[in-house]
Structure 1
Amino acid sequence: MAVIYLDHAASSWPKPPKVMEAMVQSIEQFGANPGRGSHEMAVKASRVLFEGRKSLAKLFKIKNPNDIAFTLNTTMSLNMAIKGFVKPGEHVICTAVEHNSVRRPLEYLKRTRDIKVTYIETNPKGELTIDDVARAVTSETKLIVCTHSSNMLGSILPVAEIGQLCRDKGIKLLVDAAQTAGTLPIDVGLMGIHMLAFPGHKALLGPQGTGGLYIHPDIDLEPLMHGGTGSQSEAIEQPTVRPDRYEAGTPNTVGIAGLTEGVKFVLQEGVEQIHLKEWALTQRMMEGLMGVTGVTVLGPDLGQNKTGIVSFTIADADSSEVAFVLDQSFQIAVRAGYHCTPLAHEMAGTMARGAVRASVGYFTTEAEVEQLIHAVREIAAHYT
């Protein structure tokens, strides 16, 4: 029996065929260091990176592709942004549904730089209003960090409204697009986003070990890493030119070659159409699970806008046990536990046993959703 993969919120799978083809071509034909030589293979490798930046700039409506720094993942991007921007004594606002990739760097800076952090609580469904954010702003607030969508509840936060608030107050906005890059339209200028952290391996359909950070041209981050860039090698300090300033060391050219093809696929299919397809699958999954005795579906209500995430609990069953049975008995891959976002579980009231998270992707089928509903119905019968 084939695996039913419903863990796209962690990593998308399968990938479009051209993603793998581009990676193989990169290894076979020009596996050299980009920006470190003038020979033909190095030049071809450099073109791969530039083509990737151009595709991402088109997707996110970024004017200058060189304002995008490639990273290993969203976690690295968020660390670059937070640690490179926030100075001692400053105040940062974020939400209670942020991933640990936001919370842990901020808590680290609380200990080491004496910064102040305000966590805005959401309702149990992971929703908040712009008024909730506005009330937390002080004269010392320099940065608001906001996830575009909760990776546990699937709720979509009002990023554009927060961006307008930041414009009005002279505050910078950092957005975690781990669950929305490739599935929701993102226009950094229109939405007032100063820094955008995104993964390559989720809805952008690229391989693991890829991601990026958009940095507004008015922002100069202190680099997270220092080292060789292939430019200004005679200088002691890290180069000031972008993107070299933020990309020390040999990049993941093979991965970026694959990511570029994934982004091109997203552009070709259209973000709006991708979201509509995933939303329809999510609504059917929610509807089916809500009809199972003992199952509680978390996050926004049926019919409300959300990303392709459906988290749920079954009576008093431990979420890890449910996920294990789904895997071993039904060959359905889901995620269980706390999803690196404990504050979201506090908001949802699921700290005691975590939650099972099923997440759809572009290649998920209606039949796979129906099989999950059937499997959960069988499992729930043992607990109710």
Structure 2
Amino acid sequence: MEGVIYLDHAATSWPKPPAVGDAMLSALEIAGANPGRGSHRMAVQASRVLFEARKSISNIFGIKNANDIAFGSNTTEALNLAIQGSLREGDHVIATMAEHNSVRRPLEYMRRLRNVEIDYVPVDASGAIDLMQMERMFRSNTRLVVCTHSSNLLGSILPIGEISLLCRKHQAILLVDAAQSAGVIPVNVQQLGIDMLAFPGHKGLLGPQGTGGLYIAPELDIEPLLHGGTGSQSEALEQPKVRPDRYEAGTPNTVGIAGLNAGVKHVLEMTPAFIYQNEWELTQHIMDGLSSVKGIRMLGPEIGQPRTGLVSFTVDGYDSAQLAFRLDRNYGIAVRSGFHCTPLAHESAGTTATGAVRASVGYNSTREHVEVLVKAVLELTGTD
């Protein structure tokens, strides 16, 4: 879209690398059949699209067996598969106050459906957790720990490696929500000890909307979320045990996955470490520039501290939704306002009554983009 300064990458990255659209069009034209449902050349080509995408995702997350990746439509579906598929009657779960509703709502559903017990580890205003407090929450029936890698409101990065050690000590499964970290923070599931990793295709991996998936460690056998046709073992009444078929009932989004593969390849070329450093520097520039606004409060880690590529803020006397609206209409700047589907994080930050404006940078954001944002906020608040 002409004239838009897009700073809403934490919701969906845009624009995509040109190769993403090219790959999707190519798949539509030459691989438009159902993968795994025939032996003709178009069906084989469609299967190859999925195979190549699994290989790319394995490379970016350090996954040994690509068949341990189950594709789905988004992170939310992946989290539901992981949570509903692994919890049993009376299990105990530990999550954090930084979680998105894509974690909280399935957990609360399991509380009602299977009498699952849940504890939420508090986070402070900067988004940090107390690992000693987390450890005290473990019980004999703690089966699952669910943890966002990075808060979509605060930008804080949680210590996944340390949390994994606690899970190993107490024999609990670790599920990580990588909605804000996939493609942005280097992630190796083997090195970090992650049992399940839910990831979106449409954010830091630069793929299209309607794509995502779940890594499931080979020693885990969770129940499928969907039951139906897989193109394999069609004579059986139950879902096949073989992966990834067990978790991928129905016709997949082959065209979208082709685009996702192209996006992941672009990230691998740039490297997540490079992308993180660039985004971090841009957030520091935003925070430095906005610091002179009277009555502003910037959420999450202090300037100079690690964070993912977003800055959420409030300004005394200004409605967050109105500020975001004016940034769009008067300056052509796309940001997000409201509660960002994470009420627990707003509770921790003390912004339940006001919500917040969130500006989030991406792989293609520039210093010029954030300088326009800073100048606009200064003008709208009468600082400049």
TM-score range for the pair, normalised by the shorter chain length: over 0.9
Could you tell me how far apart the structure 2 residues matched to 1:142 and 1:30 are? 41
| Structure 1 partner of 2:377 | 376
Q: Please give the residue correspondences for 1:278-293 in structure 2 after superposition, counting only pairs within 5 Å.
A: 278-293=279-294
- 1:266 deviation in Å? 0.7
Could you tell me how far apart the structure 2 residues matched to 1:308 and 1:198 are? 17
5+ residue gaps, structure 1: none
Could you tell me how far apart the structure 2 residues matched to 1:298 and 1:30 are? 46
| Structure 2 partner of 1:106 | 107
| Structure 2 partner of 1:41 | 42
| Structure 1 partner of 2:204 | 203
| Structure 2 partner of 1:221 | 222
Answer whether contact 1:166 1:192 (CA < 8 A) is retained.
no
Structure 1 stretches of 4+ with a deviation exceeding 6 A read: none
| Structure 1 partner of 2:90 | 89
Answer whether contact 2:30 2:45 (CA < 8 A) is retained.
no
| Structure 2 partner of 1:25 | 26
5+ residue gaps, structure 2: none
| Structure 2 partner of 1:325 | 326
| Structure 2 partner of 1:295 | 296
Task: Give the letter for the 1:218 counterpart.
Answer: E
- 1:371 deviation in Å? 0.3
- 1:316 deviation in Å? 2.6
| Structure 2 partner of 1:167 | 168
- 1:169 deviation in Å? 1.4
Q: Please give the residue correspondences for 1:1-384 in structure 2 after superposition, counting only pairs within 5 Å.
A: 2-381=3-382
- 1:167 deviation in Å? 1.2
Query: TM-score, structure 2 length as denominator?
Result: 0.98
Identity %: 61
Could you tell me how far apart the structure 2 residues matched to 1:24 and 1:370 are? 36
Answer whether contact 1:317 1:353 (CA < 8 A) is retained.
no
Deviation string 1:220-270 (CA, Å, 9 cap, x unpaired) is 111100000000001010111000000000000000000001001111111
Could you tell me how far apart the structure 2 residues matched to 1:45 and 1:87 are? 36
Could you tell me how far apart the structure 1 residues matched to 2:13 and 2:182 are? 12
- 1:129 deviation in Å? 3.0
Could you tell me how far apart the structure 2 residues matched to 1:29 and 1:51 are? 15
Task: Give the letter for the 2:300 counterpart.
Answer: G
Query: TM-score, structure 1 length as denominator?
Result: 0.98
In the alignment of these two chains, the number of paired residues is 383
Alignment RMSD, CA only? 1.0
SS in 2 for 1:256: helix
Could you tell me how far apart the structure 1 residues matched to 2:380 and 2:196 are? 43
Task: Give the letter for the 2:261 counterpart.
Answer: T
Could you tell me how far apart the structure 1 residues matched to 2:67 and 2:156 are? 31
Could you tell me how far apart the structure 2 residues matched to 1:19 and 1:49 are? 15
- 1:200 deviation in Å? 0.2
- 1:79 deviation in Å? 0.2
- 1:176 deviation in Å? 0.1
SS in 1 for 2:348: helix
Task: Give the letter for the 2:378 counterpart.
Answer: R
Could you tell me how far apart the structure 2 residues matched to 1:327 and 1:360 are? 16
Deviates more, 1:264-273 or 1:205-214: 264-273
Task: Give the letter for the 2:190 counterpart.
Answer: G
